[in-house]
Amino acid sequence: MKARVANAGRARSAGLPASESKRSPLAPKSYASLPPLAGVRMATGQAGIKYRDRTDVLMAVLAPGTQVAGVFTKSKTSAAPVEWCRKYVGGEARALVVNSGNANAFTGRAGMDAAKDVAEAAAEAVGCSAREVFMASTGVIGEPLPGEKITRILGALAERASAGGWREAAGAIMTTDTFPKMATATATIDERKVTINGIAKGSGMIAPDMATMLAFVFTDAKLPTSVLQPLLNDSAAKSFNCITVDGDTSTSDTLLLFATGKGGAHPPITKATDRDLASFKKQLDAVLLDLALQVVKDGEGAQKLIRIDVSCAQSDAAARRIALSIANSPLVKTAIGGGDANWGRIVMAVGKAGEAADRDRLKITFGNHVVAEKGQRAAGYNEALATKSVSGREVHIAVDLGLGNGAARVWTCDLTHGYIDINGSYRS
């Protein structure tokens, strides 16, 4: 593992956050290997915001002219960094600063001042305007951010920033995560190769209205913000907006997409509908979905990944609401966690979703086994087969409403005592 930057700018040998020693059983067997990306240099450092003996600040230095798009939490109590990014997204970006251990949310005027101080310090270190600095914070809500702990190491981070270091970057932004989340893909634009790299963090407080807790995606393609933004909106809707861990939307949800323009030279792209973007769109979707599923697999206390497919609803929107009603139900999630094929809880979740449903048309399937249909338990129901279907690491639940053509797919995880253990002592 490459050396990281310590408080005073000295290189230090440090592992990833201690939580990685308690990796989720759903964690990938091996990490993605992200290649260096032209126009992006990274460094991580230890500011000591909350954690000891681990990195907690990430700084990415971006090439001049880098374009940025973003989607953010719809929470009415959004964090100061979210407000800062909302104000300046759509312009150019020269730096990204992310800290873990403190969300800088619900911190009043002091929180906005701290965000501004971080932006100005990063701008000075990189040589740009503060409005070209983007940031995010994750951790405890309501605690004042000790911004000076971050600003005093940014100069050293900017100086030491280098290509590579993606695993270290993903590790520095972790909180209750048990593994760093990374994904990469290559695409072509008019037969010119471009790269897409992404990192994310998230484990609890996951029910995004836009993205996940924090995700940062970088490409060396030369794409203007007017193209990036609709691409990002569409891709987030099919990935990060389709996951939930606990039904709680964070104050800090931030997804940023940066395009440095330093990759293979391709013809100018001016519209998100350009046919030359077909490969790029496909691979962007793949990277975002990969990151989103890693977040669910790292859900706090999670032991199982649950995929929920709703079909034949009156509309796609109706199908989505029903799917999320199932995915966010503590009764459904605890049943799956305990290996209990309690299909009655699916019936309950469908009924409370507020969308059209006909008891006699409803069909529920666990894995390949139909458990309920025609208004009652399925004639061929087998308890052993149903139980087996919800006992593995990955569980599939399908609900057919029998009413129309609407469909949706969402992912969640089970709810175990581990979630209580983590969140009952989070601040300590």
HEC states along 8-38?
A: CCCEECCCCCHHHHHCCCCCCCCCCCCCCCC
* Mean pLDDT, rounded, of the chain: 90
Contact between residue 225 and residue 90 where contact means Cβ atoms under 8 Å apart: yes
Percent of the chain, pLDDT > 90? Answer: 80
pLDDT in tens, 173-201: 998 899 999 999 999 999 999 999 999 99
Q: Which residues contact 424 (CB under 8 A, 6 or more apart)?
A: none
Q: Is residue 311 predicted with pLDDT exceeding 50? A: yes
Dihedral angle over CA of 237, 240, 245, 251, nearest 10? -100
Q: Is residue 207 predicted with pLDDT exceeding 70? A: no
Least confident of 42-56, 70-84, 236-250: 236-250
Q: Which residue has the higher pLDDT, 170 or 140?
A: 170
Catalytic positions? 212
pLDDT in tens, 314-349: 999 999 999 999 999 999 999 999 999 999 999 999
pLDDT of 378 = 98
Contact between residue 311 and residue 319 where contact means Cβ atoms under 8 Å apart: yes
Cα–Cα distance list, 235 to 33, 284, 318, 377 (Å):
22, 7, 20, 38
Contact between residue 422 and residue 330 where contact means Cβ atoms under 8 Å apart: no
Going by pLDDT thresholds of 50, 70 and 90, the confidence category of residue 74 is confident
pLDDT in tens, 242-259: 988 655 555 678 999 999
Q: Is residue 166 predicted with pLDDT exceeding 70? A: yes
Helix (H) or strand (E) holding 159: helix 147-160
Average pLDDT in the 385-397 region? 98
pLDDT of 132 = 98
- DSSP annotation string for 222-285: ---HHHHHHHHHHHHHTTGGGB-SSS---S--EEEEEE---SS-------TT-GGGHHHHHHHH
Q: Is residue 210 predicted with pLDDT exceeding 50? A: no
Structure tokens that stand for 22 in this block = 């308690």
